[in-house]
Amino acid sequence: MTLNIYNTLTRRREPFESVEEGRVRMYVCGPTVYADAHIGHAMSAIVFDMIRRYLEYVGYEVTYVTNFTDVDDKIIVRAQETGQDPFELAQFYTDKYLKHLSDLNIKPADSYPRVTNEISNIIRTIGDLGEAEYAYEMDGSVYFRVENDDDYGKLSRRRQEEAVTGTRVESDERKENVADFALWKGAKEGEPYWDSPWGPGRPGWHIECSVMCLHHLGETIDIHGGGNDLIFPHHENEIAQSESLTGKPFSRYWVHNGMLQLSGEKMSKSVGNLVTIDNFLQQYSADALRMLIFSGHYRKPVAYTDESIAASVRSTARLRGGLRPATGTIAVGEDVNTLREVTEAVRSGFRQVMDDDFNTSAALAHLFELVRAINTARTAGIAGPFFQAAQDTLRELAGILGLSLADPESFEGDALAAKPFIDLLVSVRTELRQDKQWAMADKVRDGLAALSVQLEDSQNGTDWRIEDAT
């Protein structure tokens, strides 16, 4: 079985082959840090985290780089509005975003380059582009000369003329061509700047990613990722810059995730229809968000609604239920063999569908199949190494999707503090039940349920767990 990945560049699924055998270099466009990140940003980070984890699972050594755009127009505007220093503002949101990544169970990148740390490389690269006639200066700014790049538009499948007929692009600059874009922006009064051969200014948006890729990963990387709203102009322009400079393919595979939607349109800061990551995590678990995203395909849009997230919460709980401990002692026999077979089938099935452009939805279906087998086995009294192995497999495969399957109570301090009291109530209720005082026993149970503590009676006694909405 080989991994196939849909490549935006060719609009086809292609067998995955990395430049260097056994190693994958991937770069994922990160956020511009000027405001709280929302769960649309989280979706992108989660999708590429899953891809990274899967690549590692199938044996690749992955070098994962994701950047921060920490100087740009929006940051400057925001800083002016709030009277803050733009660099402090960017630093604040960078730190916050890093915290979010960790809260969302996203594996740390190998490096997190920032534009402001790459200025000298950027200036040198712009200079090289200028020498090669791909760039020209005008009034202290430098532009990329699209006309000299003969395959410009190959990623977005757009021809230059078409960009012009859109007419929403109003360029009041005297660029040679309206499609030309800034590599270096001359600083206006009051804006942060760095000195350059073209005077004080700052990098354009696209050049940073080209330079950071080149600097941190090399001339040709394996996977370049981001949201599909970046295809044009951002990634198109990155290709133009990088390939004009090196003469080599910039990235072998271009991978783009679909947009997270709220009320029927793309969640975005400019529209204002957003749920911040902070907000989300106050109410739900990181697993629930992953479940929502992975229940569909990463390239398709995902609708965020009360109903869809509620369903994700429930299905996450179902998956987690597969990890409940064995209750019996049977370690051999036909039921054990069945469990073994299902475990193996699920393991290979999972891989097969993930190999097909990361079909997480089908992968989850396999996980649910395994959960059912485990639950059936538990009910049949199965325990021992094969029961353990089935649960380990569930944990491992869920882990590839970045699902922690952590019991919510384990990370809720309040629940931990309440534990002795709950245990006490449960033991009192057990005595009431032994005396067949059902009314009182039920009152205790209902009371606890109202406080989100769900009791479960079984032959081995009474279990309880926090039944929260996450």
**458 contacts RNA (rule: CB under 7 A):** yes
**2 contacts RNA (rule: CB under 7 A):** no
Which residue's CB is nearer to RNA, number 216 or number 366? 366
Among 11, 59, 272, 334, binds RNA (CB under 7 A): 11
Binding mask 40-79 for RNA (x = CB under 7 A): xx-xx------------------------x--xxx-----
**203 contacts RNA (rule: CB under 7 A):** no
Which residue's CB is nearer to RNA, number 177 or number 376? 376
Q: Please, which of residues 211-250 interact with RNA by CB under 7 A?
A: 226-234
Which residue's CB is nearer to RNA, number 44 or number 220? 44
Which residue's CB is nearer to RNA, number 295 or number 470? 295
Q: How far is the CB of 100 from RNA (least distance, A)?
A: 12
Distance CA 53, CA 106 (A): 10
Which residue's CB is nearer to RNA, number 41 or number 100? 41
**156 contacts RNA (rule: CB under 7 A):** yes
Spell 332-364 as b/e; 16+ CB within 10 A means b. eeebbebbbebbeebbebbbebbbbbbbbeebb
Among 18, 141, 257, 393, binds RNA (CB under 7 A): 257
Among 23, 99, 124, 157, binds RNA (CB under 7 A): 157
Cα–Cα separations (whole angstroms), residue 414 to 303, 466, 469: 32, 11, 15
Q: Please, which of residues 322-351 interact with RNA by CB under 7 A?
A: none
**355 contacts RNA (rule: CB under 7 A):** no
Q: How far is the CB of 172 from RNA (least distance, A)?
A: 13
Q: Which of 465, 29, 466 is nearest to 237 (CA)?
A: 29
Q: How far is the CB of 425 from RNA (least distance, A)?
A: 14
Which residue's CB is nearer to RNA, number 111 or number 352? 352
Q: How far is the CB of 161 from RNA (least distance, A)?
A: 9
Q: Please, which of residues 400-419 interact with RNA by CB under 7 A?
A: none
- Segment interacting with RNA, rule: CB under 7 A, options 129-137, 245-253, 298-306, 325-333: 298-306
